[in-house]
Chain A
Amino acid sequence: MLSRIAESFYWMGRYLERAEATTRLLAEHHQLVVEDQSVEFSLAAGVLVDALAISSARPTTGEHLARLVIGSPSEPATISGAVSAARDNARSVREALSSDTYESINAVQILLARGFGRGTSPGVALHRLLERLLVVNGVVEWTMPRDEAHDFLVLGRELERIDMMGRMLAMRHDLLWPTIGPAAVLRACGGLSAFLRTGEPSVGEKVRAFLVLDRTFPRSMRACADDAEQAVRALASSGVSDGGQLLSEVGMLRSNLEYASAGQPGVVDALIETAAAAGARAADLVNAAYFRQHGTIVWSH
C-alpha cells in the first residue's frame, strides 16, 4: 500500500484515540475538581493542562478548564485539534473508508463546531462528545477489513494509548486527591469496574500498577504494548516491512511490562517513565520503517 495512505491510517488511529482519551480524562477531571476542592483550584485544574502540554494558561473556573482542553482545530493536543486532524487524515484516505466511518467523524466535527448550546454544563457536553467519539471507534472496528490499513490504525491507537496513559499517570491524582483521586483515574479510562474486580484496595499504588501492568484490561500499558507488537508482527508477515528496529523496541517494551515485578516501591513509577519514552521512540521508528524509508528528497530552487 502507499506510504501516504498507511501514514494517514496510522495518524487517524492516533488522533481518534487522543480525542477519546482526552475527552474522557477531561470529563472525569472536571468532575473531580468540582466535587473535591481540597486542592487549590488553579493547581487542581492546571495539572491537566500541563500533562496534555496544551498551554501555560491557568484555568480559573471549571468552564475555563473545559474550554482550554476542548481547544481549537489548530492545537493538536486539544480535543478539537485531535478531531480535526483525525478528520483530515480520514479525508485523505476517504476512498478506503466505509462511508459510515467518514460520516461518524464528520458528526463529531459538526458537534464541536456548533457548540453545545447555552445552559449546557461541561459534564453534559463532554458526555455527548464522548458518545459521538465512541460511535466512530465502533464503526471503524466493525466496518474496516482486517488488512494492513487496520494494522496501521491499531498501531497508531495503541502507541497513543501508551502516551495518554503516561500523561494521565503523570498528573498524580493519587497524591493530590488521596481519597477519590485513584477512582477518578480509573473512571477516566473506563477501568473502575475492572479494577475493583481484582479485589485490590483503590489506593494510588495499586491503581497505578493495575493501569501499567494488568494483563486483561485493554487500556493498560502492558495490553497496549502487546497489541502494538502484534500489529507490527502482522505488518511484517504481510510483507510490508519487517519493521526492523521498531519490532525490537515494541517487543522490549512489552516484555519489560510483562515480566516486571511490581512488588518493590518505585518500580511502577520507573516503568511509567520508560514506557512513555519507549512509546515515543517507537513512534519515530514507525515513521522510519514505513513512511520515510528513503528520507525526504529536497529539491533546491
Chain B
Amino acid sequence: MTAVTSTPAAFDEMLDAGGPRAADEPLLAALERLGPDGRAERARQRDAYLDRHGITFTLGERERPLPMDLVPRLITASDWAVIEAGVAQRLHALEAFLADVYGPGMIFQDRVIPRSLVTTSTHFARQAWGLRPANGVRIHVSGIDLIRDEAGVFRVLEDNLRNPSGVSYVLENRRTLAHVLPEIFADYRVRTVGEYPEHLLDALRAAAPTAGSQPTVVVLTPGVHNSAHYEHAFLARHMGIELVEGRDLYCRDSKVWMRTTSGPRQVDMIYRRIDDDYLDPLVMRPDSVLGVPGLLNAVRANTVGIGNFVGNGVADDKAIYPYVPAFIRYYLGEEPILENVPTYDLTDVDQREHVIANIDRMVVKPADASGGYGLLMGPSASEDQIRATIAALEANPRGWIAQPVVRLSTCPTVVGDDGEMASRHVDLRPFATNDGDRVRVLPGGLTRVALVAGSLVVNSSQGGGSKDTWVLEDSAAPQVEAVPVVIRVAPVSAWLPARPNAVPSHNDRLAQQERQQQQEAQPDVEPEAGAATDATGERLAEC
C-alpha cells in the first residue's frame, strides 16, 4: 500500500490516518490483489471497451473517450442520505426562487436579495417573465456540484440548472467497470443507476402541457459537433425518443411540429440541450440557426413544454449562489442541509479589497461561465494571470465571485500506464430529476477527478477524468433468496451426427471406420488447419 498516500490537509475518501476506512477495505484489498500489472492490463481492456462503444466527448474538434478511473469512489448509505435530502431541499428552494423571480417577486419586496443582482444576471430571461410551466417544474434535471472539505463535510460548490451534462458517463462507467473489473464488486451491494433514463422520461412526460397518456417528447441537440453530442444521443436512445435538431422542428398555429415521413407530428415536450440564447431567433439571438423560430410563442400558448425551462440560468449564476441558503430559509422555513462554500461578493468594496489582498489563496470565477473556463486558481496562477484577473474584476465586480481555496477531498486513483495508484482530488455531481411530485436523486452521480497530481480542477474540458460512484446499500436491506416462480425448462435438444450419442457403440464403430478410411486416402488433417487444406486442394487442382 506504499503507492497510496494521502495529500496533506485534504480529506481522503478511502484512507484515514490508520489505513483504509472500514467500507473501503475490501475494495482496496481487491485492487491490491490485482497488482500493478493486473491493473494496467484491466486499464487497457477498459480503453478498448470505451473506444469500441464510442463513449466519448468532443474537445477541440477531437472525439476522445472520457478517462474513467478503475478505482470507484464509495459513498456510505448514511452519507448518501444526507446528500439526497440536501439536494432535494436545495432544488425545492431553487424552484420556488425561479417561480418567484419570473412571477410576483416577493423575495425582492422582502429584501432577501437585491432585485438588481438578479436582473443584471446574463442569464435572466426577460422573455420568460410571466411564463408558467405546465406542472410548475422548471428544473426537470439538475446537477448540483458537491465537494468534500478538509473536515469531510459535503458542501455545495455550484448549482447547474440549465443543461447539466455527464449523466451518460454515470451509466456507462458502471457498465464499463462491471465489464472489466467484476471482482471488485464481490464484497459490496451497490445501488443501481440504470433506471435513470426512465426517471428522466417520467419527469419530461409529466411536464408536457397537453393531456394524454403518451405525449411526444424529443431531445433537441445542437448537432453532432457539440461536445456533449454523445450524451444527447445516449439519452434519446435510452428513453426511446427522437433526437432532433432545430431544423427538424417548425412552429405553426402556435404549436411545434416535427417533420416526419408520415407528415407533421406535434411535439408536446422538448428536452433541449441548447442554450437559452439559441432557442428562438425571434425573441432570443436573431442569428441562431440551432433553434426554432416561434418556439417561445408556442410555450406561451401552452402547447409545448420545455425542459429545462427558459431562464433557469439566473438561479445558477455564481453571484446568486451565496444567497441560496437564504432562499432555503425564506421559501421553505428550513435550515440548509448542505452548506455552501464561503463566497465573497465582489460588488461589496470591503470584500473585494480583502480578496485582492489575499488573491494567492483564492479561486476567482466568472459568475456566468461553467466548465472551468476563465477560472483563476490563486495559489498556482502566474503574476500576469493575477494582474489580468484583478483588472477584470475591478472593471466588472458583478461578473466575478471569489472563494477561499478549498482542498477537495482525494481518492486513490490509478495514474500512468504502469498501474500504480496515487491520490487525486475529486468532486461529485449528483443528478436529480423532478416530475412535480417528487425529486429523485440518482444514487451516486458523476465523480470527477483531477488527473494531474495536486490539481484542484476536475472539469473534463480541463483534463479531468471520472470515477464510477458507488452508493452502498444500507446493510439492513434484505437480499432476495428464493425464485418467486418455478423455473420449468426442458433439457436442451441435441443431435450430433458426426458422433451421435443415441446408439453409442454402433456409432463409435462408424466414426472409427471413417477415420481408417480417411487415413488410407490422406494423412489426417488437424481441424485448425482448415484454411491450409483448402490451399492444398487448390494447388493440387492446378497441377
Contact = CB atoms under 8 A, between A and B. Distances in A.
Contacts of B178: 31, 34-35, 123
Interface in B187-209: 188-190, 192, 194-195, 198
Interface in A60-100: 61-63, 76-77, 85, 87-89, 91-92, 99
Contacts of B45: 120-121, 124
Interface residues of A, number: 68
A216 interface: no
16 contacts: A35-B185, A35-B190, A38-B189, A38-B480, A39-B480, A88-B499, A103-B531, A110-B528, A124-B45, A163-B492, A172-B484, A175-B484, A175-B485, A196-B240, A276-B489, A280-B493
A166 interface: yes
A170 B488 contact: yes
A236 interface: no
Contacts of B214: 199
Given A8-B497, A119-B42, A124-B45, A35 B489 contact: no
A163 B498 contact: no
Interface stretch (A134-142, A176-184, A223-231): A176-184
Interface residues of B, number: 58
Contacts of A220: none
B49 to A, nearest CB: 7
A36 B530 contact: no
B192 A91 contact: no
B186 interface: yes
A87 B484 CA distance: 38
A25 to B, nearest CB: 13
A123 B184 CA distance: 14
A76 B41 contact: no
B484 A99 contact: no
A166 to B, nearest CB: 7
B1 interface: no
A170 B530 contact: no
Interface stretch (A48-56, A239-247, A250-258): A48-56
Top 9 nearest A-B pairs (CB, nearest first) are A196-B240, A123-B179, A88-B498, A76-B494, A77-B492, A180-B194, A39-B480, A34-B182, A119-B41
A37 B26 CA distance: 16
A105 to B, nearest CB: 8
A91 B497 CA distance: 10
A167 B491 CA distance: 10
B181 A121 contact: yes
A155 B179 CA distance: 34
Contact of B479 (A39, A62, A180, A280): A39
Contact of A180 (B179, B182, B192): B192
